Amino acid sequence: MGVQMHNIAVLFYILHSFSVTALSRPRGVSISMASFYSGQSENFSCLDSSRVIPFHYVNDDYCDCLDGSDEPGTSACINGNFHCTNAGYIPTNIPSSRVNDGYCDCCDGQDEYDGIIMCTNKCKELGKQAQEERQKIHKMQMEGYAKKQEFISEGHVAIEEKKNKLVELENLKIAAEQKKIEMEAWKNEAEGPEKSAKEAHEKIHEEEKTRRQHEEEQNRAKEAFDELDINRDHLLSVLEMKTHLEFDIDSDGTVSEDEAKEYMEDVVEADYNHFVEKMWPNIKEIYNKKNKPTESDPSTVITTADVTPTPETSEKDQLESASTDSDSGGDGDDADSDDEESDGDYDDEEDNYDDAEKKKAKEPEKENTLKMPEYDEETKKLIEVADRAREEFNEADRKLREVEKSISDVKKILDLDLGPENEYYMLYGKCFEFSDREYIYTFCPFDRTSQRSKSGGMETSLGHWGLWDGPQTDLYSKQKYDRGQNCWNGPDRSVRIHFECGIENQLKSASEPNRCEYAFTFATPARCTKQETSSAGFATKDEL
């Protein structure tokens, strides 16, 4: 019983001492520092322990302590602090230099006590405003937290649906793969007979083409031989070969005997068989039946004396042959004589003539092109079956690829870290914009960030989804987007997203604190936390 009475006495003494101390602390001293200015001793020890001075030196408007702790209520020390009690609002400290400077720094006006100006006590008014603001924030956080619970619920349902969908897609993939295998087997089976039938048809066509080409080649050779055989003796002579300037090897304007013999394979006279077997393969690319000698080239002119009559050559043929002189083809082509008489117009007419001949030379090629005939009915049926098999295979392959893409898309979402309770799922697949005076910024959560100028131009990538980048104690407060478009002579662009609580999803700000390093502020209910009802009040404590 004696011990209890003693403890009660000690507690009463402590409380009484605290009250006295609180009431008697010097101006500019907070309650937490009041014990250092109790005044129970005749001396005051500077808070930095640099000096011990008489207690009545405290607040005597002269700075005795190096740390200014002896002048908490005056402006004597440049490094001192004055404590504003600000009853009903937020207590605060101001530099001692602001004491009695003619400006009310404390909302209760304690810093201007010399009476030069009168300060209105605004602490209760400010406290009321702060209380209302805090209640507003509290209400917003409560509404945001309620929406967060919806986000969590919807995210949980969506993720479960994605998991079920993945199982369904995996089963569809197995069926699609089996279908593709079956259609591929059918396609391969149908394409075998189709290929054989097509190849047989094309082989017949190629053989016919080869036969016709050979026939045409023989006709060309025969036509050339007959045209070169001016005297119609069924033999080609050196003199007859000299009538065609395309055999002018050295391009001196005449065909020499040696040049003619070289194309004749060193024979003086060539019959048709020798021409076809030995000569035609070598001259067919350069032979031009319209290439005739001119009158100025007497060495190539065949006269009547040069023509040796043969039983097959009539007198009329001989006369016609001789009269043509340098006519290489015996075709009675009047264009040459007309060209010779036209003097200055000769070159132009000759060019037109050559163009016409080239055009005419191409026309037989088109005519001689043998078009492949239609397939027979049996082959058409085989092709029809193979086409249907290919269509079915392509459709099976397309469906399999669609299922595989759907699986990839679902896995991409399931592999994402969407928050501890999937509360950030509601941001996936959406994009948000923020505009300032110059740019429009875009933020697509878990995907990309970008910037484009309001004046036009290409969109600039600021970064692609990287990772959650908050501190270890609050990982989901920030995100990092990197690997954006490279800055000229600098790093790749990147963005850090700072999340804050908000009733709606909103990109609130965008800035570039460092070169090519951007910072976005994004408000979302997913960031809101549960608020205690008591925290809505303004945490102030009136000092005595």
Inter-axis angle of helices 123-228 and 346-368, to 10 degrees? 100
Q: What percent of the chain has pLDDT over 70?
A: 78
Return the pLDDT at 107: 93
* Mean per-residue pLDDT, 355-372: 57
Residue 313 and residue 331: Cα distance in Å, rounded?
Answer: 16
Angstrom CA distances, 101 to 59, 75, 95, 214, 283, stand at 16, 9, 11, 119, 118
> At residue 58, does pLDDT exceed 70?
yes
Return the pLDDT at 39: 64
24-28, 127-131, 376-380, range with greatest mean pLDDT: 376-380
The answer to whether 519 and 513 are in contact (CB under 8 A) is yes
Inter-axis angle of helices 377-414 and 123-228, to 10 degrees? 160
Instruction: Record the pTM.
Output: 0.57
CA 394, chain centre distance (Å): 29
The answer to whether 468 and 479 are in contact (CB under 8 A) is yes
Contacts of 155 (CB under 8 A, 6+ apart): 418, 419, 421, 422, 423, 424, 425, 426
Return the pLDDT at 351: 54
CATH value of 423-533 in 3.40.50.1820, 2.70.130.10, 3.90.550.10, 1.10.8.60: 2.70.130.10
pLDDT band of residue 257 (cuts 50, 70, 90) is confident
Structure token pair of residue 538:
């303004």
Give the angle subtended at the CA of 442 by the CAs of 437 and 447, to the nearest 5°: 165
**Number of other residues whose CB lies within 10 A of the CB of residue 316:** 8
* Mean per-residue pLDDT, 497-506: 96
Q: What residue type is assigned to position 290 of the chain? A: K
Flag the least confident range among 212-226, 360-374, 481-495: 360-374
The answer to whether 70 and 58 are in contact (CB under 8 A) is yes
Residue 543 and residue 433: Cα distance in Å, rounded?
Answer: 48
Return the pLDDT at 246: 86
393-443 pLDDT per residue, tens: 999 999 999 999 999 999 999 999 999 999 999 999 999 999 999 999 999
Short-list 414, 409, 446, CA closest to 163: 414
Q: What residue type is assigned to position 188 of the chain? A: N
Helix (H) or strand (E) holding 457: none
Residue 416 and residue 466: Cα distance in Å, rounded?
Answer: 11
Return the pLDDT at 352: 53
Query: Torsion angle, CA of 355/356/359/363, rounded to 10 degrees?
Result: -160
Residue 97 and residue 492: Cα distance in Å, rounded?
Answer: 48
33-37, 237-241, 481-485, range with greatest mean pLDDT: 481-485
Flag the least confident range among 214-223, 365-374, 424-433, 444-453: 365-374
Q: What percent of the chain has pLDDT over 90?
A: 57
Flag the least confident range among 95-104, 223-232, 503-512, 524-533: 524-533
Give the angle subtended at the CA of 79 by the CAs of 77 and 80, to the nearest 5°: 65
DSSP state of 353: H
Listing DSSP states for 105-162 in one string gives -STT-TT--SSSS-----HHHHHHHHHHHHHHHHHHHHHHHHHHHHHHHHHHHHHHHH
Return the pLDDT at 326: 41
Residue 388 and residue 398: Cα distance in Å, rounded?
Answer: 15
Domain boundaries, the chain: 24-121, 231-329, 423-533
Helix (H) or strand (E) holding 452: strand 448-453
Return the pLDDT at 106: 94
Half-sphere exposure in the Cβ direction for 501 (13 Å, CA): 17
468-482 pLDDT per residue, tens: 999 999 999 999 999
Q: What is the mean pLDDT of the chain?
A: 82
Give the angle subtended at the CA of 239 by the CAs of 235 and 243, to the nearest 5°: 105
Return the pLDDT at 516: 94
Flag the least confident range among 202-206, 260-264, 412-416: 260-264
Return the pLDDT at 293: 52
pLDDT band of residue 267 (cuts 50, 70, 90) is confident
Return the pLDDT at 368: 52
Return the pLDDT at 7: 47
* 520 against 321, higher pLDDT: 520
Place of tokens 């009733």: 503
Q: What residue type is assigned to position 488 of the chain? A: W
Place of tokens 């530099």: 95
296-319 pLDDT per residue, tens: 444 444 544 444 444 444 434 443
Return the pLDDT at 353: 46
Structure token pair of residue 1:
């019983």
Structure token pair of residue 352:
């037109």
